[in-house]
Amino acid sequence: MITVALTGASGSMGSEALKQLLELDDLKLKILLRPKKSNLLLGKRLLKKYKNRLDVIFGDLSEYKDCELLIKDVDYVLHCGAIIPPKSDHQPSSTFNSNFGGTKNLVDAVLNSGRADEIKFVNIGTVALYGNRDYHHPWGRVGDPLMPSTYDIYAATKLKAERYVLEAGLPHFVSLRQTAILHKNMFMNNIKDGLMFHTCWNAPLDWVTDIDSGLLCKNLVKFDSEGTLKEGFWQKVYNIGSDDAGRCTGFDVFDDGFKLMGGSTKKFFKPNWNVIRNFHGMWFYDSDLLNSYLDYQKTDLNEYWKGLGKKLWYFKLGAIVPPQLISKFVIQRLFSNTNSPLYWRKIRHLGRLEAFFGPNETLETLPDKWDDFPLLSEGKTPEGDIDYNEVKTKEWASKHLLNHGYDETKPDNELDISDMRQAAEFRGGKCLSSTMTKGDLYTKLEWECHDGHRFMATPYTILKAGHWCPECCQPLPWHWGELSQHIPFFAQVYWDTHDKSETGTYPISNDEDDFISEE
Ligand SMILES: [Zn+2]
């Protein structure tokens, strides 16, 4: 009998993981749910359905003893649980306690269990760690710089959490950075908050479905427990992404959804309602690597959209309600939400306006007609026309990948201290350790950043996973522009969407109070 501890079972990925894991014979699941009303009902329903195969613990990730109870006697920890946007934008303290504190609690509980050698730890990370991308570098991979977008509390807490997992010395861990998940509640969740306006029309996006994400969890446990998981899987970071069909732009995603209503993005939105940068998302150059281990990329996205169109009542609205009315009552009513750019303009929140639009009142000068707005998916950029279909090919991508600052053609077992020095220099700092065992990527070395902070970290965490200084390269504060002046590794992508004059620190102070409200 295999026992799996699962967090986030009420979420879009966790709920699919639960369902699909329980399709396996000889498997028992332990889940942790926060004791709120909807979860009490969910727990009751699940216990009725799965009876003695499921153990429901009501508690909180931020409580160590709850995590200890959850991981007791388990073989795997699947950590999907997190407070995600938009909730994380409004509740920063509880997001930190849950996302970082909760991950730390789970890892510590495994380390203290006396069974750390046996328990396998799967951390679900996020594409949001990479921060903003545009047409200059739409493709990315594990090892690229980690620069969460300014004011993205969720990504900041997940960055710190992933580093903790990587550096804990667990013999069996992986961190799987999840891209955006297409799921049945996506539209409903999105039309409740100004977060809807945070998707850049030209952001490169990669989608996987909730079904494929659940399959990934099931196959991981299945293949590993039956001994068919390929060698070399553990102690790594991977991107969870789609095959070619899932790669699109922010505009396309809205358009696919609105088409189901018989409309289009251009009918429901104006171009200047959404932000133009400081989002996250990219096309994963390396998601086929994880698929080669876990064989999860199965769902046809077009079919999935069609299925949603048939299943969900509000997609039928378009047939009876004129687009202007849908736009007015579904979308424009969110203009006054505290997470909406027009609200920031109203209260003159200069930090947010600059972070999401750029300096000098860019929002005021954005075109409000689609004909005047260059859309990447139509092959248009502010610098002129490009061949969008060519940009989407892996061949084009291979010529536009970011530099990781060391000789990547060397096999891992050949990497030595000279590679560490080279990588540190590209990060504006130094590798202080004078020696290392050639090829040993998991013994910690000492490093120093440009600002003199000294820290210990494994070669894997730095060279392969893209982390750097735990003091200055982790928000808060948000100051990637300042850092990019000293760190070429960051500079190669940060200036794609920022002016060289943007080297300050973004404010987060008393004027945040009206925006951030704790529960
Ligand atoms: Zn530093």
- Report how far ligand 1's centroid is from the alpha carbon of 237 (Å): 23
Chain segment 195-235, per-residue pLDDT in tens: 889 999 999 999 999 999 999 999 999 999 999 999 999 99
Q: Report which secondary-structure segment, H or E, holds 89.
A: helix 87-90
Superfamily of domain 2-182+206-241+285-299: NAD(P)-binding Rossmann-like Domain (3.40.50.720)
Is pLDDT above 80 for 317? no
477 CA to middle of ligand 1, Å? 12
pLDDT, tens only, 10-59? 999 999 999 999 999 999 999 999 999 999 999 999 999 998 999 999 99
| pLDDT range class, residue 513, cuts 50, 70, 90 | very low
Query: Ion ligand 1 — residues with CB under 5 Å?
Result: 449, 451, 453, 469, 471-472
Three-class SS state of 37: helix
Cβ pair 279, 174 in contact under 8 A: no
Distance 500 CA to ligand 1 centre (A): 21
**pLDDT tens digits for 267-288?**
989 999 999 999 999 999 999 9
Q: How far is the CA of 252 from the centre of ligand 1 (A)?
A: 39
- C-beta separation of 33 from 42 below 8 A: yes
From the CA of 470, how far away is ligand 1's center (Å)? 7
Please name which of 400, 409, 406 lies closest in space to residue 420, comparing C-alpha atoms: 406
Whether the per-residue pLDDT at 518 is higher than 50: the answer is no
Span from the CA of 452 to the centroid of ligand 1 (angstroms): 6
**Cβ within 8 Å of residue 473, ≥6 positions away:** 146, 449, 467, 483, 487
pTM of this structure: 0.95
Quote the tokens at residue 495. Answer: 């200036």
Distances (CA, A) of 305 to 133, 205, 314, 380, 381: 25, 16, 14, 26, 28
The Å distance, Cα 467 to ligand 1 centre, comes to 11
pLDDT (0 to 100) of residue 512: 53
Instruction: Quote the tokens at residue 398.
Output: 């291979």
Domain ranges of the chain: 2-182+206-241+285-299, 412-465+468-494
Write down the pLDDT at residue 514: 44
What is the whole-number distance in angstroms between the Cα of residue 442 and the centre of ligand 1?
A: 21
User: Maximum CA pair distance of the chain?
Assistant: 71
* Ligand 1 centroid distance, CA of 133 (Å): 24
- Dist. CA 508 → ligand 1 center (Å): 20
453 C-alpha to center of ligand 1: Å? 5
State the distance from the centre of ligand 1 to the C-alpha of 199, rounded, in angstroms: 30
Question: So what's the pLDDT on residue 517?
Answer: 44
515 C-alpha vs ligand 1 centroid, how far in Å? 29
